[in-house]
Amino acid sequence: MTHVFHPTLLREYDIRGVVGDTLSTADAYAIGRSFATLVARAGGKRVAVGYDGRLSSPMLCDALIEGINAAGIDALNVGLGPTPMLYYAASTEDVDGGIQITGSHNPPDYNGFKFVMLGRPFYGADIQRIGQMAAAGDWEVGEGATQSIDIIDAYVDRLVEGFAGGAYRVGWDAGNGAAGTVIEKLTAKLPGEHHLLFTDIDGHFPNHHPDPTEEKNLADLRQLVAEKRLDFGVAFDGDGDRIGAIDGEGRVIWGDQLLQIYAAALLQDLPGATIIADVKASQALFDRVTELGGRPLMWKTGHSLIKAKMKETGSPLAGEMSGHVFFADRYYGYDDAPYAAVRLIEAATKLGQSVTELRGNMAPMVNTPELRFQVDEVRKFAIVDEVLERLTAAGAEVDRTDGARVLTDDGWWLLRASNTQDVLVARAEAKDEAALTRLLAAIDEQLALSGIERGPQAGH
């Protein structure tokens, strides 16, 4: 028995497709069987499985577990919940890996799979291996058993373990995503006053798309914070591993700005610690970490890559512009948005300032949202190489960590190839509008030299 996946399904950090088109239950079975075979050959015996609130998730979960069991591996089904709840199970239960079925922040007809194996991120070549094994029918044969457990209360208890924050008035927007029930249970355990939006888990996402990095999706939260005069508001993506936030005045606190707040609190306890952020983060963050006595480290975009770098460097805190925040000082080092919300309350308490003051104290920067350019999949990395070659020849100051991040007197600009889509991603940040215009002109010039024109842009 062999199985061939649709060529678009196996991505850099996860497996993702359109249900009924590029993704089916047969795919889920093959994914389960390949992953379980890898676990079996590494001496493992059991895999944790969880799923998000999408309409197709229970069906894919059944097929996935069937595949896991067919390779002779037991499945521990933790049921419906956010991705970090599955990561929690993989960290605390007697299992050798975990799979979360989730479409994350993609449209409702998408779904996919995120993995962890033997306590490490599972991505890149690991995911390609699943495809190779399925195509070859290189699978173990056996009869595993399945056990279902309810882990949600233990997970929520862990979120508030050792909580050292004060009482605030907070708005929470779960966006009808998988974190809804967790947010209800979590806020019941926190001091202060909590106002909740859209905590009913609904795979149609009837209120707004569950992606808090797009400002338009924060409109309901902004209205709630204004009407109730709340201290701040937090929002979550479809599977609860990315956080968005606004302050009491309705200003967005972007991922790199949240990281400034977390770093200020954490470095009081762990002076000199390494704080990691991705290449899309503001220069203001790296400068602030240095100012606070920490060691800033710029790294490649991608939650799996950041997690691996944290393990390698012993970093207690990392984050991405996209709202993935990773705490390893009093937690497990994975991206957990409900936990990040708890830590925001703690940070404001520790720093003795309101979230609004902390946001207001940040140096104003003029920057673009993430700009995306559709390009041919086979050209995207080649274009970045061409740009790097030209910049080097011109003697520009370039950081090559992930694409080209160019530092000039006006500020900086970035051009990188997306690992998950057929797009180039650009971003620029300057001290004023005139400088930003010059940076964007520099990006346009480089794209034009490689035959790409900047068209109408998607948002942040």
Active site residues: 104
Half-sphere exposure (Cβ direction) of 180: Cα atoms closer than 13 Å: 18
CB burial class (10 A; 0-12, 13-18, 19+) of residue 372? Answer: middle
Residue whose entry in the numeric block shows the structure tokens 């705490």: 327
3 contacts 27 by C-beta, under 8 angstroms: yes
Angle between the 125-136 and 25-41 helix axes, to the nearest 10 degrees?
A: 110
The phi, psi pair for 167, rounded to 5°, reads: -95, 115
**Joined tokens for residue 122:** 């599972």
Instruction: Give which of 103, 101, 42, 97 is closest to 75, Cα–Cα.
Output: 97
Residue 364: DSSP 8-state: P
The phi, psi pair for 177, rounded to 5°, reads: -85, -175
DSSP letters, 215-243, are GGGGHHHHHHHHHHT-SEEEEE-TTSS-E
CA 103 to mean position of chain CA atoms: 12
DSSP-based three-state secondary structure for 412: strand
